[in-house]
Amino acid sequence: MHERTIAASIIDKAKEYGNVKGITVECGDLGHLPAEEMEEVLKELTDWNITIVRKKATVKCACGYQGEPNIIEHRHDHAFFKCPECRSIPEVLDGTDIILKEVDVE
């Protein structure tokens, strides 16, 4: 149930800005929660307008490839991915965070 803990943290941070009408949250493709799960739990816990922006992951592989990984599976608290060129496991450069990007207040 750590999705509720992550959502509660985002909600608490947003409330610091005043009477919230909506938020925009950026979810990395390799984040702890898939974007759909993050959106679902935020909508369960608030009556705000929730906008989820997906951030593509970026990886760097020993074979020289740098770009989006081939994501095989992304579920709650895990993601399996590989290099689309050589099929090995690359180093993650970006796309793992869940970030409160914007708060719309009254």
Domain positions in the chain are 2-105
pLDDT recorded at residue 91: 96
What integer is the mean pLDDT of 78-92?
A: 93
Q: What is the pLDDT of residue 1?
A: 55
Q: With pLDDT > 70 as the criterion, what percentage of the chain qualifies?
A: 99
Q: What is the pTM of this model?
A: 0.86
Q: In sequence order, which residues have a C-beta less than 8 Å from that of residue 33 and are 6 or more positions away?
A: 3, 6, 27, 41, 76, 77, 98
Query: What is 2-105's CATH number?
Result: 3.30.2320.80
How remote is the C-alpha of 57 from its chain's centroid?
10
Residue 75 is predicted with a pLDDT of 79
Average pLDDT on 68-84 reads 89
